[in-house]
Structure 1
Amino acid sequence: MMLYMIVPLCVLFTFTQQAPSREVKCVCELTNSEKAFPHGKLSTAEDNASKCNSKITPQKTREFESLLLGLELRLPQLLEDVSMLEKEDDGELYGALSLQVIENEMMDIKQLIDKLNSTTQGHQHLTTDTSKQLEDLRAVMRELERFDTMQVVKSVHANRRLKTDLDQCKNGHPTIQPTGPPQGNCPHGHFLNITGPRVHTAGEYPGSYMYGAWGRDPKPEASKENWYWLVLMTSSNKYSNFVRLYSSLSSLIVGVSVPGNVQIHSSNPTTNTIQGPNVVLYGEALYYNCYNQDAVCRFNLTTKTVTTLQLPKGTRFNSKGNFCHLDECYPYTDLDLATDESGVWVIYTTTQNFGNLVLSKVEEGEQLTLGQTWHTQVYKQGVTNTFMACGVLYATRYINKNVEEIFYSFDTVTGVEKFNIAIFIHKMSPNIHSLNYSPVDHMLHAYCDSYMVSYKVVFG
């Protein structure tokens, strides 16, 4: 009896162990109420923006400005030639030749006007097309911003504005109060334009020295009010060890230096001699970039002594922070010294300011000190030269081999930066290697590929 009961229990136990277990599956259905992000629209918007950038280039604006400048220069010349013909026409050979010259000038002006009209029409079409594309892009971007439910883009814009405000607050804080007359308050009025060139000469060494600087001392000794100075880069277009003096402008032009050279050192280069062409003379002392240093040297022409001023840590020197344009950089132009009505300034760059221009006042005294400092938003390697006038920093850029543009200003009193000055310099040579403003006669002295050129500054 017991045997018959044990067998069925064993069979039941085995059957139970081998029976497959039933799997339980749970399925959830997710319904997204938001629309899918339109990646295709974003890609199309990026392509259209890239096309706009390729169509609208600075070269188009510069071409237009160059044509306008050419027309502006030709018309007064034509008027002058017609006036001369009216006064001196003898009815014979002179009149015929003058009429031929005037006819040629009018043909040139007509070609300029035709090209200007063609360029203007092209720009108008381009402006219309671009405006329509920008409106379309704006509408697409507004539509895409609706997908930013986490407000990421809005937060990025807010952070960017906050960072800009903080940078301006930090950079605008003065370090040392300046001495001397207040800057930026010009008794002559606003800087309106330049005319000229008034002077164009190869001087005493025609074609010999490509880099250099020249000008007048804004604070001369008595009896030296009409003197001019000249510094030539006589070693490798980079270094010099003397300043050459001329008793008048005519002496400079014909190349007669009665005072001769005032030598800093017999060797060139060596410690505390001149490095780079951006030098100035002020108060019978030459200010320049010391050889192989991130420092300003002051050479006293009377005592023949040198005083140095160390610039802030991080200042770029030894041709690491030059003036440049698209085709080339001007070597060893890291430091630019400038003079105006209030004294001496130094323009340079630092790693902390990411290569943007830094402006400092050089305070006079037995020992040189660095006065108030300003940090700008203009990148130095996009600039070809700088100069000061009435406490305002001006910067130039290369347009073409015939035209340079004063495009930027920074007012040291108000802190206002402008990138739309649009004052054009008609060049006599492709490269301006140094540019100095003289408050004595309101002239802008340029050293251009071994030529000395000056322009009259117009205030009003």
Structure 2
Amino acid sequence: MFLLLPLCLCVLLLRADAQDQASLWRGNDRSGRCQYTFTVPSPVEASCPQTGAPELESLKARLNLLEVLVSRLSGGDIQASGSQQGVGARAQPELQEALNRAVGERNLLQGEKEHLERQLEGLQRRMEEMRRETERLRNRPCPPQTPMVPPSTSLQDRGLIRPAGGSSPMSHLMTRPNRQGDSSSLRDSAWQYGAPGFQELKAEVTEVPAPDGSEDNAGCGYLISVGEPVTHRKADNIAGKYGVWMQDPEAVSPYGPNMVWRLDTVGTEVRQLFGYEDMEQLSKGFPSKVLLLPELVESTGATLYRGSLYYQRRRSRTLIRYDLASESIAARRDLPHAGFHGQFPYSWGGYTDIDLSVDEKGLWAVYSTSKAKGAIVISQLDPHSLEVKKSWETNIRKNSAANSFIICGKLYTLASYTAHDTIINYMYDTETSQGKAVAIPFRNKYGYNSMVDYNLAQRKLFSWDNFHIVSYNIRLGRQQAN
């Protein structure tokens, strides 16, 4: 017992001294198990060569690995970027070419879409015209039947020929030579489809000798009839689907009066004016002169007069007088308030907002304005300065007319540009400022007439019908056609 007591005291003393130099730690390890750690300071070494814990060393190793990976990735990005730039530089021309092709195809499709939309609008307008015409024909009463005159009755007994010294009331049906020497008679349309007795009477009347030049067809008058179309040439390519052809009624040097001129108006770059020495060379397709116009042409409304070409500049209401001799622009002027580029075209479309023409009374413009609300406006122009001298506003809508032309100061409109057998349905006289409905037969032989103009040089109608250059003989009379 006495021996145990000193031993315990020694142990206690040693334990107290050890607590100043040793440490006991308890905690969970990484797997979650309880772990005791006992540390004793070294009696010899003041410090350890490695002061970091294992976790710190592991963290340093991970950081080093990350630094290596980042450096590799950075170098790879730079190399990849350089390679991509090289590939992009090589692929850029191919991409640009593909883009240009795509843009070109888009423009072509857009143009075709606009063309189809215009055709659709034209068809819709034509259907509406046909509906109105059908209603008009249904509501019109039948004409009274005229009794047939016996063939044996003499002309004097019928009252158609008066004794010497008197004038015949049917003198407007007698044979009259025109400027070209055509001696065919002026025929009343009512006689062409009558009974055999009327046909015989017509033959007897045409045998009466024609009067002298006091009633020659060379003077001005009202349009009585239009002959059958005569084809002179067909265009060679799509550029000639629509166009305008013309002659100068007062040609000046260096071009003679037989010179024929032509413009193909399909495309966005319309500026070539082809000249032919005469109609024969036109039929053969051999131009003797090709002029490049300084300003682009809009549509089929051009005309020739006194050595100058008059036309509308593309996408504007500007009129241009181009001198053929000097091959330069002699005058330009805006047509006041005129619609342009599809605002007030003819029913067939084609940006035919402004239509220029020439007749016995000078230079004319047919167009419309917002003030006129789409009705046809006729203006007489000064051929030198293009200034408007006088204007008339009609009662016919411009987009309901297929085309129009002016003869002797009288405007005539065409009912359809596609119907093979149509009519000239309206006439407006600038001398009386009065308009009226007419019904003069007209034939669109090829089914798409984009230009009809009066040619004063030959006293005919010139037209451009679906690639074909066509002309019509006409008859003028002193009395208005009923």
TM-score by shorter chain over 0.5: yes
1:308 to 332, 342, 359: 332
What amino acid is the match of 1:248? D
Within a 5 Å distance, the mapping from 1:266-345 to structure 2 comes to 272-306=295-329, 307-313=331-337, 315-324=338-347, 329-345=348-364
Task: Tell me how far 1:199 sits from its aligned partner.
Answer: 3.2
Q: Is the 8 A contact 1:220 1:283 kept in 2?
A: yes
Q: Is contact 2:239-2:265 (8 Å) kept? A: no
C-alpha change, 1:59 and 1:226, in structure 2 (3 Å) is same
Q: Which residue is equivalent to 2:409?
A: 391
Show the 5 A alignment for 1:414-425.
414-419=432-437, 421-425=438-442
Q: Which residue of 2 aligns with 1:58?
A: 133
Q: Distance in 2 between matches of 1:244 and 1:230?
A: 5
| 1:445-460 equivalent positions in 2, closer than 5 A | 445-460=462-477
Per the alignment, residue 435 of structure 1 pairs with 452
Separation in structure 1 between the aligned mates of residue 239 and residue 313 of structure 2, nearest angstrom: 23
Measured against aligned partners, the alpha-carbon deviations of 1:282-326 in whole angstroms (never above 9, x if no partner) come to 11211111122112111111122222121113x2111111111xx
Residue in structure 1 matched with residue 112 of structure 2 by the alignment: none
The runs of 5 or more residues in structure 2 that have no matched partner are 1-127, 141-192, 194-216, 478-482
Tell me the residue number matched to 2:230: 198
- Secondary structure of the 2:415 match is strand
> Is residue 2:264 matched to residue 1:240?
no
Secondary structure of the structure 2 residue equivalent to 1:434: strand
Letter in 2 for 1:442: R
> Quick one: structure 1 residues 60 and 280, their matched pair in 2 at CA, closer, same or farther if it must change by over 3 Å?
same
Is residue 254 of structure 1 aligned with residue 284 of structure 2?
yes
C-alpha distance in 1, partners of 2:139/2:473? 25
> How much has 1:63 moved relative to structure 2?
11
Tell me, which stretches of 5 or more residues in structure 1 are unaligned? 1-52, 66-112, 114-184, 266-271
Aligned counterparts, 1:40-439, within 5 A: 57-59=132-134, 187-203=219-235, 205=236, 208-221=239-252, 224-236=256-268, 239-258=269-288, 260-265=289-294, 272-306=295-329, 307-313=331-337, 315-324=338-347, 329-365=348-384, 367-398=385-416, 401-419=419-437, 421-439=438-456
Cα deviation for residue 398 of structure 1 reads 0.9
CA separation in 1, counterparts of 2:136 and 2:311? 36
3-state SS, counterpart of residue 283 of structure 2: helix
- Contact residue 309 and residue 370 of structure 1 kept, 8 A: no
Deviation track 1:370-393 (CA, whole Å, cap 9, x = no partner) reads 111111111011011111101111
Q: What is the distance in 1 between the residues matched to 2:137 and 2:470?
A: 23
Q: Which residue type is aligned with residue 311 of structure 1? A: L
> How many Å apart are 1:186 and its aligned residue?
8.6
Quick one: structure 1 residues 228 and 59, their matched pair in 2 at CA, closer, same or farther if it must change by over 3 Å?
same
C-alpha contact (below 8 Å) 1:429/1:449 kept by paired residues? yes
- The offset of 1:244, in angstroms, is 0.7
Contact preservation (8 Å) 2:417, 2:449: no
User: In 1, distance between residues paired with 2:470 and 2:463?
Assistant: 5
Q: Which amino acid aligns with 1:309?
A: R
Q: How many pairs are equivalent?
A: 272
SS at structure 2 position matched to 1:333: coil
Kindly provide the amino acid, as one letter, of the partner of residue 395 in structure 1: T
Contact between 1:199 and 1:455, CA under 8 Å: does it hold in 2?
no
Deviations 1:343-382 (A, max 9, x none): 21111110001100001011122x3211111111110110
Distance 1:57 1:361, change over 3 A: closer
Q: 1:234 to 1:261 in 2, by over 3 A?
A: farther
Considering only CA atoms, is the larger Rg found in Structure 1 or Structure 2? 2
Distance 1:399 1:279, change over 3 A: closer
Q: Deviations over 1:58-86 (max 9, x none)?
A: 13667999xxxxxxxxxxxxxxxxxxxxx
Local SS of the residue matching 1:309 = strand
Q: 1:400 to 1:450 in 2, by over 3 A?
A: closer
SS in 2 for 1:253: helix
C-alpha distance in structure 2 between counterparts of 1:186 and 1:408, whole Å: 23
What is the one-letter code of the residue matched to 1:58? Answer: E
1: distance between equivalents of 2:138 and 2:241?
A: 28
Percentage identity across paired residues of the two chains: 23
| Moved >4 Å (runs of 4+) | 60-65
Find the counterpart in structure 2 of residue 25 from structure 1. Answer: none
**Secondary structure of the structure 1 residue equivalent to 2:228:** strand
CA distance in structure 2 between the aligned counterparts of 1:63 and 1:186, rounded to whole angstroms: 39
Distance 1:368 1:430 in 2: 34
**SS at the partner of 1:278?**
coil
Alpha carbon RMSD of aligned pairs, Å?
A: 2.7
Cα displacement (A) at 1:201: 2.3
1:193–1:64 distance in 2 versus 1, CA, 3 Å: farther
What SS does the aligned partner of 1:381 have? helix
1:428 match: secondary structure:
coil
Q: Indicate the SS of the match to 1:252.
A: helix
SS of the counterpart of 1:250? helix
Taking the TM superposition and a 5 Å limit, the aligned residue runs for 1:22-41 are none
Q: Partner letter of residue 398 of structure 1?
A: S
Displacement, 1:188?
Answer: 3.7
- The Cα offsets for residues 136-190 of structure 1, whole Å up to 9 and x where unpaired, read as xxxxxxxxxxxxxxxxxxxxxxxxxxxxxxxxxxxxxxxxxxxxxxxxx992432
